[in-house]
Structure 1
Amino acid sequence: MKTILICYCALFFLNMQAQTQPWQGKFEPIDHMIAPPNSYRTASGAPGKAYWQQRADYNIKVTLDETNNTISGNETITYYNNSPDDLNYLWIQLEQNVNKKGNQDFGGISNDLKDGITARNMQFLTRAIDFPAGYSIKYIKDNSGNSLKFLINNTMMKVLLNTPLKSGSSLTFSIGWSYTITDRSMFKLSREGYEYFPSDDNTVYLIAHWFPRMAVYNDTEGWQNQQFQRLGEFALEFGDYEVEITVPEDHIVASTGTLQNAEDVLSKTQRDRLEKARQSFDQPILIVTEEEAKANEKTKTKKQKTWRFKAKNVRDFAFASSRKFIWDAQAVKLPTNTVMAMSFYPKEGMPVWQEESTKAIKHALEVYSEATFDYPYPVCISVNTSNIGMEFPMISFNGGRPKNGQMTKNAKAGMIGTIIHEVGHNWFPMIVSSDERKWMWMDEGLNTFLHQRTVAERYPDFSSTTPKSIVPFMSGDKNILRPIMTTSDNELLSQFGSNFYRKPTVGLQMLRNSIVGKELFDAAFKEYANRWKYKHPNPGDLFRTLEDATATDLDWFFRGWFFTTDHVDMELSNVTWFKVYEAEQNIENRKQNIQLKSENQDTRVATQDFSDGPEVIKMSATPDDAYGGFLSRLDEEAVRQQLLGKNLYEVNIKNVGGLVMPVTIEWTYTDGSTEIDRLPADIWRRNEYEVKHTFVKDKEVKTVTLDPNFEFADTNTDNNSFPKSESQSVFDRFKNNQ
């Protein structure tokens, strides 16, 4: 009895372990790794019937003080509580506080002090020159003029409501504020601020993250009030904007939205040129010429004027202002919309920006629209600045500048790539509005995937990201590597670009080109974009949609590529050659030079090449009891005749890197011809570490190679071929063919 009790307890303990520690095989479902479906988000990856999200409309008046480099404004926010919850307080984002002296540092982006260091890096580390960063909140009042209490915690502000905001109701309140505009040269990863030009004593202002903005409240985590720590970007609600921007009279303003008072802020000539640009589909029209911009640099008026803009259904608002701007524009015709593509740049960007910027916008608008949905907004703007690439609805700030009017091919490719990438962010996350602060890969990775597709299609001479691009990263030290499913602010800076940009891009390229297929994948990707435009998707929504819209089990891929640091390293450990001959034939006479080997496959010795010729298979008759209950019999002689004289190759492949992938095999025959066979990743289901597969070939094989076109980022191609002594490295062949 004691023995039985011990056994029972042991079985009970093992059963409990099995329940609490689910099997983590490479092909097990990822259901427990992503949020479960519910009435808000369905198991198919689509928004559910009960899906909801909040909304915030803004009416803002702001003044730019060029003399003191300050900005001050007041805003009225109408916040709609569409959630099923009553809210006692609201959270508002104050990103300008990230540089406020004395605020929590969150762990520096770059905090190495060296014996040799530039003055600029020393400023990043020590803030030797003080800067009065951060908001001054003047008031917060409700719609009746009553003051609302508020508490500020670094980059987040909690507004305490006098009465709860009931589910289904709205609240209107106002905020007065001001701050000193950031000198972008003084702070690491400064996404906004001003750039000063000493040669003509002028400034380009990039005004972003400039007004207190509502934080997201959603069904998956409530308030997204994670602090802004510079790397993780933004989570924002959609709304309508009416914005009045007061700037020096000689400034030109580029902005989110549609200009409402062109007759007040533009000259008759400029308005005529702008109207002409609306009909110009083949080339940009200059609205402000280089000569006019140079003349404008000298004016420095103290007068002001106000530009008024409206934007519908956007999640943010940004603008740029300067008297230095040259401005060009042209129309881009999409199937359902005509967009004004526009570029603003100082003379320092000439001539390359005039030649390339608006053209790059056009290419991005066309390729992204085809891949997802037509760009829905009336304008798309690229503004030139230094050392940056940053996106906002309808407008982006982009680096890349010639030196003495010249740019190398690589520098120009980098500039054009930056413009395409930042324009592309209009789709991800400005419309398909994922949470950048939590899952940066969801916008950067998906956007880079389409950015690289745009480059490959419209600029084929430029290099673009491919599976080989990620090999050095995937081969890295597993002790420090982190999976893609790492939240934005917890990633090592050295891995940031690889893990959040390139690795997701390569993963989507693999799905499109080699796993799902272009037609099926493109339709599924478009389905995801359209399901979640103007909404807030999570990783599980993307994963489920791609499976739902392709009828393909991709959990094995998502698990390995997104949740682990495993890499691809498939080893072609052996290839064995066989032939079938007539049963009654004297094998020694038929093939004099073949030395018969044991029929027991478990004792076969791995060959180094095919020089010993094939092993001979002696097919015997099948015993009746092997057919079980079947009364019919296979035509065994027909089977023999079908295989008679053919070449059978048993391929043995080992999974060294841990990441399962489909297997692509290239056969090079003795006559010089080649052939490709493809096996799905499912071949690893029964054994995740080693598989064997048999192929029947009419011709004799000279060499066998895995992943000949380098589709799967295999980190070690030296073990991809058989015979090894006669085969060139796959990676070397791939490089030589580029």
Structure 2
Amino acid sequence: MNYFKSSLFLTLLVSVFSLSIFAQEVDYGNQHLFDQFTYRQGNVYRTASGKPGPEYWQNSADYVLDATLDEKSHTVTGNVIIHYTNNSPESLDFIWLYVEQNRFTENSRGTLTTPVQGNRYSGDIEGGFELSAVSAKTKTGTSSKYLIDDTRMQVFLDQPLAAKGGEVTIEMSFKFKVPVHGMDRMGRLDIKDGTIYAIAQWYPRVAVFDDVVGWNTEPYLGAGEFYCEYGNFDVKITAPANHTVVCSGVLQNPKEVLTKTQQERWAEAEKSDKTVYVIKPSEVGKPSAHVKNSGMLTWHFKMENTRDVAWASSQAFIWDAAKMNLGDGKSGLAQSVYPKESDGKNAWNRSTEYTKAAVEFYSNTYYTYPYHNAINVAANVGGMEYPGVSFCGYKSTASSLWGVTDHEFGHNWFPMIVGSNERRYPWMDEGLNTFINHYSTVSFNNGEYDTRMEGPRNLIPYLKSDTREGIDTSPEVAGARNLAYTAYYKPFAGLYLLREYILGHERFDYAFKSYIKTWAYKHPQPNDFFNHIESAAGEDLDWFWKGWFYGNGNIDIGISSVKPYTNGGYLITVENNGQIPMPVELQVIYSDDSTESVKLPVEIWQRGNSWTHLLKTTKEVKRVVFDPNKIVPDVNILNDTWNKL
């Protein structure tokens, strides 16, 4: 009996060992990518179908802002009143705010993590907030206790703020010096006729508290952008009387700040598809361009259901505008403000045309533009977006001006309408925006300008680079040269593949527009996007999300052989030599030059790296081509074609 047990044990051990050796020899290729994303399960807050759940919540913040611009000292002084509502299911002992002007100090984390040689996100170091009169008032009492750490501010409450509807009013005064170089997102520019102030990240604002990570308190360092709650804004900006001020939102007191002539031109622009001057180039700097030319003047704006506001002020602005046709019977006003240095044929005199075209395309194609104004500001900012307002390089012309204008206003859909977390997941705004930019550029003026990305194959040199990084790389961690690919171009290529190659236009477009509508003014996470596209398109895409969005592998599909079959036809064998599977589209060219398309589903790769397809035909095959439309960014194009010898 003992001998039998020992023999059986040894037999089983040898068998298992043999099987393990055999298993090591088997290459199942990309099979692991077809395993389910088990952590992508729904809950009461976010459903498995990619929608807000029955108990989804998000907090809100309304702002009353009053600011004054001092042109002599280049400072902004103001007061903010924040009415914050806690809709979460837990009470809050404190409220976190962002105080992002603190980035512009000598010892800020952002300054200390900027390379000595500088980069796009370099900033001045003589700024920072001066805060005073801080108070947080609830039903139970008032607290003035707070703590500031770098670009974050923790405001303590006298008692925990109640869950599901507790309200607090936070108020404080603030002051900061406007940086010349504001990390290419804001700043000031001196030109012949004055100074252009492009003002953003200019008031203490509430950080997002969500169901995924709680308080989102990542510091403002550089590449990572923003994540904001939605609310209503009431903004008053007091500036020198000879300045023109533009701001997110609708101007409430045009009769107080615009001359009669400007009011008439404004009314004309509201009805005109052609650009109308509000302030002509010849009027810049003249007394007739302002209701008064000494002292100060207050401009009043309001904006509803927005995550932020930005503004600009200068005495050097040319100002023009035109009507936007937004669909659903809605119209708006495209506007541009720019100095004489930016004026000229095919320069900023086309800015309003570009703004109008971009916003109209996105509004009529994806989701109706929710704001009345779309204002393009010429500044020393290469390109930066805010709700209803964009700052773009004042030297941009022609295709570069179209490109930056189109891109920045596209951001009104991602992340202004669909409120993703830019600081953690830049691909959810930059990548999706770059994707829609491609189609708007193709549409604009019958293709006047080439698109930034002709197709995913342009990515191949980067994809073959040893220093490449994945889409899921944090923007603060990604190499400076890689960020454009991880946040913009590779996500664009992924979406382009989905629409043009994997799902097709009808299925993708329905799912994509459904995602925008479903998550408008809410806070989606990456899994919400993945789940929603899968649910609406009816396709399991786990292999694609894991391979393209959460990996650093490549696509390499090749045709290994084409052989006559004994019973007629041909056996076409394709191989997957890469790390990401793909459906296979083949073009077969016969000896009589006729062609046939063969499409094989991605599931052919579920059990290995090789697949043989029987092509039933009586014709002679002379050539077979993988991906004849050259959409797939296959890193080895040398094995994409088979030719009969």
**Normalising to structure 1: TM-score of the pair?**
0.80
Quote the Cα distance in structure 2 between the aligned partners of 1:88 and 1:50.
22
SS of residue matched to 1:179: strand
Matched residue, 2:189 = 195
What letter matches 2:159 in structure 1?
A: T
Matched residue, 1:344 = 337
User: Per-residue deviation at 1:499?
Assistant: 1.2
Alignment partner of 2:375 out of 365, 381, 401: 381
Quote the Cα distance in structure 1 between the aligned partners of 2:430 and 2:287.
37
User: Per-residue deviation at 1:269?
Assistant: 0.4
Matched residue, 2:528 = 541
Quote the Cα distance in structure 1 between the aligned partners of 2:111 and 2:552.
26
Structure 2 gap ranges (5+): 21-29
User: Per-residue deviation at 1:110?
Assistant: 3.7
> Relative to 1, partners in 2 of residues 1:31 and 1:195: Cα closer, same or farther, differing over 3 Å?
farther
Is the CA contact 2:244–2:315 (under 8 Å) kept in the aligned structure 1?
A: yes
1:348-367 matched pairs, under 5 angstroms: 348-351=341-344, 352-367=346-361
Matched residue, 1:397 = 391
SS of residue matched to 1:454: helix
Alignment partner of 2:145 out of 149, 157, 168: 149
Quote the Cα distance in structure 2 between the aligned partners of 1:713 and 1:315.
36
> Relative to 1, partners in 2 of residues 1:29 and 1:123: Cα closer, same or farther, differing over 3 Å?
closer
> Relative to 1, partners in 2 of residues 1:335 and 1:123: Cα closer, same or farther, differing over 3 Å?
closer
Quote the Cα distance in structure 2 between the aligned partners of 1:59 and 1:717.
58
Please say if 1:532 is aligned against 2:529.
no
Identity between Structure 1 and Structure 2 (%): 37
SS of residue matched to 2:369: coil
Is the CA contact 1:345–1:353 (under 8 Å) kept in the aligned structure 2?
A: no
Quote the Cα distance in structure 1 between the aligned partners of 2:143 and 2:242.
38
Is the CA contact 1:296–1:324 (under 8 Å) kept in the aligned structure 2?
A: no
Quote the Cα distance in structure 1 between the aligned partners of 2:449 and 2:286.
37
Deviation per CA, 1:472-509: give whole Å up to 9, x if none: 111111xx332212222221111101111011111111
Matched residue, 1:175 = 172
Quote the Cα distance in structure 1 between the aligned partners of 2:263 and 2:498.
48
Matched residue, 2:402 = 416
Quote the Cα distance in structure 2 between the aligned partners of 1:99 and 1:497.
24
Quote the Cα distance in structure 1 between the aligned partners of 2:48 and 2:9.
43
Quote the Cα distance in structure 2 between the aligned partners of 1:328 and 1:512.
37
Is the CA contact 2:121–2:184 (under 8 Å) kept in the aligned structure 1?
A: no
1:365-514 matched pairs, under 5 angstroms: 365-399=359-393, 401=395, 407=397, 412-459=398-445, 460-464=447-451, 465=453, 466-477=455-466, 480-514=467-501
Quote the Cα distance in structure 1 between the aligned partners of 2:539 and 2:88.
34
Quote the Cα distance in structure 2 between the aligned partners of 1:297 and 1:210.
31
Quote the Cα distance in structure 2 between the aligned partners of 1:652 and 1:399.
52
> Relative to 1, partners in 2 of residues 1:101 and 1:470: Cα closer, same or farther, differing over 3 Å?
same
Is the CA contact 2:187–2:380 (under 8 Å) kept in the aligned structure 1?
A: no
1:564-579 matched pairs, under 5 angstroms: 564-579=551-566
User: Per-residue deviation at 1:301?
Assistant: 5.3
Is the CA contact 2:61–2:230 (under 8 Å) kept in the aligned structure 1?
A: yes
Quote the Cα distance in structure 2 between the aligned partners of 1:358 and 1:335.
18
User: Per-residue deviation at 1:716?
Assistant: 1.6
SS of residue matched to 2:413: coil
Deviation per CA, 1:250-280: give whole Å up to 9, x if none: 1111110000011110000000110111111
Matched residue, 1:616 = none
User: Per-residue deviation at 1:366?
Assistant: 2.3
Is the CA contact 2:91–2:161 (under 8 Å) kept in the aligned structure 1?
A: yes
Matched residue, 1:209 = 201
Deviation per CA, 1:663-696: give whole Å up to 9, x if none: 1111121112222222221211121x22221111
Is the CA contact 1:341–1:362 (under 8 Å) kept in the aligned structure 2?
A: yes
The more displaced of 487-496 and 262-271 is 487-496
The more displaced of 377-386 and 67-76 is 377-386
SS of residue matched to 2:34: coil
SS of residue matched to 1:699: coil
What letter matches 1:82 in structure 2?
A: N
> Relative to 1, partners in 2 of residues 1:476 and 1:296: Cα closer, same or farther, differing over 3 Å?
farther
Quote the Cα distance in structure 1 between the aligned partners of 2:240 and 2:281.
19
Deviation per CA, 1:172-201: give whole Å up to 9, x if none: 1201110111112xx6x331111112x44x
Matched residue, 2:129 = 135
User: Per-residue deviation at 1:720?
Assistant: 1.1
Matched residue, 2:311 = 319
Is the CA contact 1:64–1:247 (under 8 Å) kept in the aligned structure 2?
A: yes
Alignment partner of 1:699 out of 599, 619, 622: 619
Matched residue, 2:58 = 53
Quote the Cα distance in structure 2 between the aligned partners of 1:387 and 1:206.
8
Aligned residue pairs total 618
Is the CA contact 2:136–2:142 (under 8 Å) kept in the aligned structure 1?
A: yes
Please say if 1:295 is aligned against 2:286.
yes
> Relative to 1, partners in 2 of residues 1:268 and 1:123: Cα closer, same or farther, differing over 3 Å?
closer
Matched residue, 1:28 = 35
Matched residue, 1:652 = 573
User: Per-residue deviation at 1:124?
Assistant: 8.8
User: Per-residue deviation at 1:160?
Assistant: 1.0
User: Per-residue deviation at 1:469?
Assistant: 1.9
Quote the Cα distance in structure 2 between the aligned partners of 1:232 and 1:695.
51
1:553-568 matched pairs, under 5 angstroms: 553-568=540-555
> Relative to 1, partners in 2 of residues 1:298 and 1:255: Cα closer, same or farther, differing over 3 Å?
closer
User: Per-residue deviation at 1:298?
Assistant: 11
The more displaced of 103-112 and 690-699 is 103-112
Matched residue, 1:285 = 276
Quote the Cα distance in structure 2 between the aligned partners of 1:173 and 1:196.
35
Quote the Cα distance in structure 2 between the aligned partners of 1:268 and 1:388.
34
Matched residue, 1:708 = 628
Matched residue, 2:99 = 94
> Relative to 1, partners in 2 of residues 1:573 and 1:123: Cα closer, same or farther, differing over 3 Å?
closer
What letter matches 1:132 in structure 2?
A: E
CA RMSD of aligned residues (A): 2.5
Quote the Cα distance in structure 2 between the aligned partners of 1:693 and 1:495.
39
Quote the Cα distance in structure 2 between the aligned partners of 1:426 and 1:122.
26
Quote the Cα distance in structure 2 between the aligned partners of 1:418 and 1:651.
46
Quote the Cα distance in structure 1 between the aligned partners of 2:381 and 2:77.
26
Quote the Cα distance in structure 2 between the aligned partners of 1:347 and 1:489.
37
The more displaced of 352-361 and 268-277 is 352-361
Is the CA contact 1:297–1:324 (under 8 Å) kept in the aligned structure 2?
A: no
Higher strand residue share: 2
User: Per-residue deviation at 1:230?
Assistant: 1.2
Quote the Cα distance in structure 1 between the aligned partners of 2:46 and 2:161.
25
Is the CA contact 1:140–1:175 (under 8 Å) kept in the aligned structure 2?
A: yes
Matched residue, 2:597 = 676
Alignment partner of 1:667 out of 578, 588, 603: 588
What letter matches 1:75 in structure 2?
A: V
Alignment partner of 1:260 out of 252, 267, 271: 252
User: Per-residue deviation at 1:545?
Assistant: 0.5
> Relative to 1, partners in 2 of residues 1:106 and 1:271: Cα closer, same or farther, differing over 3 Å?
closer
Quote the Cα distance in structure 1 between the aligned partners of 2:288 and 2:99.
33
Is the CA contact 1:436–1:488 (under 8 Å) kept in the aligned structure 2?
A: no
Structure 1 gap ranges (5+): 15-22, 113-120, 581-645, 727-738
